Amino acid sequence: MASLDASSSAFSEATFIPPDSIFDVTRRYLADTTPNKVNLGQGTYRDADGKPWILPSVRSAKGEIAAADCGHEYLPIAGLKSFRDEAVKLAFHGTKALEENRIASCQAISGTGALLLTGLALKRASPKVKTIYITEPTWSNHQLLFESLGFAVQTIPYYKAGHFDFESYISVLSDIKADGSSAVVLHACAHNPTGCDPSREQWKAIAAVVKEKHIFPIFDAAYLGFNSGNVDEDAWAIRYFVEDLHLEAAVCLSFAKSMGLYGERIGLTSFVAGSSDLARTMQSVLENVQRATVSNPPAYGARIVAQVLGTPDIKTQWDEDLGVMSGRIRTMRERLYEELVKAKTPGSWEHIVKQSGMFAYTGLEPAQVVHLEDKWHVYMAETGRISIAGLNESNVVYFAEAVDSTVRTVK
């Protein structure tokens, strides 16, 4: 049968869209048959042997769920109530917002889905919000997601010479019009991709501007507990905004990193409102936009998280698991820095240990990244961002050697 003439196709005006850069790094890594290869691209935790790790707490929770034989019925539109209750309590315990029933919540398809529901709910409930401000650089999906929803997306300088560029950031933030037409995406901790977080004093200054300028804060909280090993430490900025400054806010949670539930796609959208009546209204809005997208979310991952958070001994084990993951990542930062210093690699590398969380912004240039892949079979984002979780004692010396050689030969 002859193929359809392209000009008469329904897709004749479509243009090819290049593959997502981060996922394409993984594709190239998997296609590489060289045994001595290193994947520092995608942000997934690996243990000391470079293997995926099922958290002991998650393993225990899965056993409890299997024994309960929960079945496969539809969840409510807002998701599993026990999961929502436990996740909200995790992020907001001890706050007046929780005590006064001022939090609306909806289970989401991981952190991406949580941001999507947030954007959809804002368009419905706050149509005057037209512009979303994101950091430059930021997680690659922020711009694509909010632009796809019809928002204008503007960037704020964030990173300079290995550090958070507070002066530039606060300057641009302060210039935003105080007319309620803007929202800002804030990384609660472990800024992706730079690993550079504001200090508490800097957070206070940022919050003051957000309040003064009537900017709606959206917290992307994908790493609570994973960053420092302590959820409350990592949620400090969220609590400061909603408890100390009494601000309304959206908080987008993900349990992909903190529980290793990458494929289960389990997240939560929450809106802190000024009153319980407004929270009730926002609950209805969230359920409406959920119905219009995925209708209702998947159950298995939600049951795992609810079991972990709601069972005291399993929750204690999870706290220990967080310490294991965050501790190993800090150790790998230190080991990489030590090897680069030992080799007298040109340049300063202190930012590797000053940054935190899963990712590090190395400062490597695109040509050097290409060289690392072609010659050394080391795979990373073209920006020079690496996933520290991909390093271990078996490859950290090799990676440091590769970086040292590349920096010296590729200017």
pLDDT in tens, 208-257: 999 999 999 999 999 999 999 999 999 999 999 999 999 999 999 999 99
Q: Would you place residue 137 in the very low, low, confident or very high pLDDT band (cuts 50, 70, 90)?
A: very high
* pLDDT over 90 percentage in the chain: 91
Contact 186, 217 (CB under 8 A): yes
pLDDT (average), residues 141-158: 97
Question: What does the pLDDT read at residue 365?
Answer: 94
Evaluate if residue 400 carries a pLDDT over 90. Answer: yes
Q: Which of 221, 157, 233 is nearest to 186 (CA)?
A: 221
Question: What does the pLDDT read at residue 221?
Answer: 98
**Cα-based distances in Å from 214 to 117, 129, 208, 338, 374:** 21, 11, 10, 45, 49
Residue 100, both tokens: 């006064």
pLDDT in tens, 282-321: 999 999 999 999 999 999 999 999 999 999 999 999 999 9
Where in the sequence numbering do the catalytic residues fall?
139, 220, 257
Evaluate if residue 68 carries a pLDDT over 90. Answer: no
> Going from the N-terminus, what domains does the chain have, and what CATH number goes with each?
20-52+326-409 (3.90.1150.10), 74-310 (3.40.640.10)
Instruction: Give the span between the Cα atoms of 274 and 86, in whole angstroms.
Output: 21
Over the chain, what is the mean pLDDT?
95
Q: Would you place residue 67 in the very low, low, confident or very high pLDDT band (cuts 50, 70, 90)?
A: confident
Question: What does the pLDDT read at residue 59?
Answer: 98
Q: What are phi and psi of 293, to 5 degrees?
A: -115, -80
Burial readout 206-231 (b: 16 or more C-beta within 10 A, e: otherwise): bbebbeebebbbbbbbbbbbbbbbeb
- Length of the chain, please? 411
Q: What are phi and psi of 269, to 5 degrees?
A: -100, 130
Q: Would you place residue 78 in the very low, low, confident or very high pLDDT band (cuts 50, 70, 90)?
A: very high
Q: Would you place residue 3 in the very low, low, confident or very high pLDDT band (cuts 50, 70, 90)?
A: low
- pTM for this predicted structure: 0.95
Instruction: Give the span between the Cα atoms of 126 and 128, in whole angstroms.
Output: 5
Residue 23, both tokens: 């996922």
Burial readout 97-122 (b: 16 or more C-beta within 10 A, e: otherwise): bbeeebbbbbbbbbbbbbbbbbbbbb
End-to-end CA distance of the chain: 54
Instruction: Give the span between the Cα atoms of 407 and 347, in whole angstroms.
Output: 9
Evaluate if residue 5 carries a pLDDT over 80. Answer: no
Question: What does the pLDDT read at residue 2?
Answer: 58
Q: What angle do CA 198, 123, 257 make, to 5 degrees?
A: 45
Evaluate if residue 69 carries a pLDDT over 90. Answer: no
Q: Would you place residue 8 in the very low, low, confident or very high pLDDT band (cuts 50, 70, 90)?
A: confident
